[in-house]
Structure 1
Amino acid sequence: MPKAAYTPTKEQKKRICEWIYGLKFSDGYASNIAHCVNMMKLRMHGLKSHDYHSICLTMLDITKLHKLEQSVAIIMCNLEKIFSPAFFDSMEHLIVHLSYEAYVGGPIQYTWMYPLERFLHDLKKKVKNKALVEASIFEAYIVEAINLFSFHYFEPHVLCKRSMPGRNDDLTSNKDRIQQSIFNQPGLASMASKKR
């Protein structure tokens, strides 16, 4: 069987693995992807779905989406010729709607549930009264809103939670940073853990 047109050569695999090995994300955004790259075998292993999302975050070509929408029905018909009808259920039918959903929703960061779930997790951590959970969450939300609102009226020299730099921020100026990188975030690379 011939190789597919999108199969990378060994040199291309090496460049891809080196690029992924050198990726650095802000703290808590993604796992340490460098640990998932095997430079000897030029393979990746152990990536979670969130890591793939963070790598492919801005890869969305509208022209390819229109082509996909036109050709997906033909592809599904060809698959129906090969596989029995028992193979096709609602999950295979969802492929037909995939390009439309990507076109309407845009890149994945606009339709992710991660930020909302993280926000709700932060609110749930602030629950003090287990008998009145909703009221405690509402009160925590109001406190956060007041905190955000009042932060703008502090003097510039006053340090508060919102004006402090992040714990991994290396305090470099914005002009020192490369402006073209989509993965450009302030911070330092995570180092290997030390035994105490």
Structure 2
Amino acid sequence: MTTIGEEDEHIIATPSYGLFLLSDSKSTNFKKDLYEEANGKYLPSLTNKSRTNTKRILIVDDEPDITLCFKMTLEDNGFKEQVDAYNDPGIALSAFSPGSYALLLLDIGMPSINGLALYEKIRKIDSKIKVLFITAFDLDYEVLKRLYPQHEDVIPTILENSEGCFIKKPIDTDDLVRRVNKEVFNYFR
């Protein structure tokens, strides 16, 4: 069980059940949105809204509790209104536009489009995008080549463009914030 946010306004994510509980919130709509997400519907607060010219962070993970946890953690640590999160890689790809994001946080092991394939498609749209991959495994170049031979061409690019580009699950939220700040510091200065 993970708690994120202020003492009087927080979210509890229970990954084993995929449910979110919002306690003492000022927003009843937000409670309703979280409830609907727990029942398999889209979470409106995570959908693409009209944007400013600010560089943003895009999180894509097929587990709703992880995307919400990351989004709330980053927003609580200085990235207010700068984080978009999607559970469907196809929807994330269709919402992506060149220059709109400074950093991708991508789960590697998604069922419909794995994180490497999604990164490959996004790099065709924006070749300067940085990435942090979320994974449950210890990965290096040789392991990636063995697990994902179809993406052998993009793997060296991944390793060149982002220093230490893998975040291993379970993820410490302080480490997440530190790694994101390191990758996007020049964008948000």
Larger-gyration structure (1/2): 1
Same fold per TM (> 0.5)?
no
Q: Where on the TM-score scale, by shorter chain, does this alignment land: which range?
A: under 0.3
With the length of structure 2 as denominator, give the TM-score of the two structures: 0.25
**Which structure: greater strand fraction?**
2
Scaled by the length of structure 1, the TM-score of the pair is 0.24
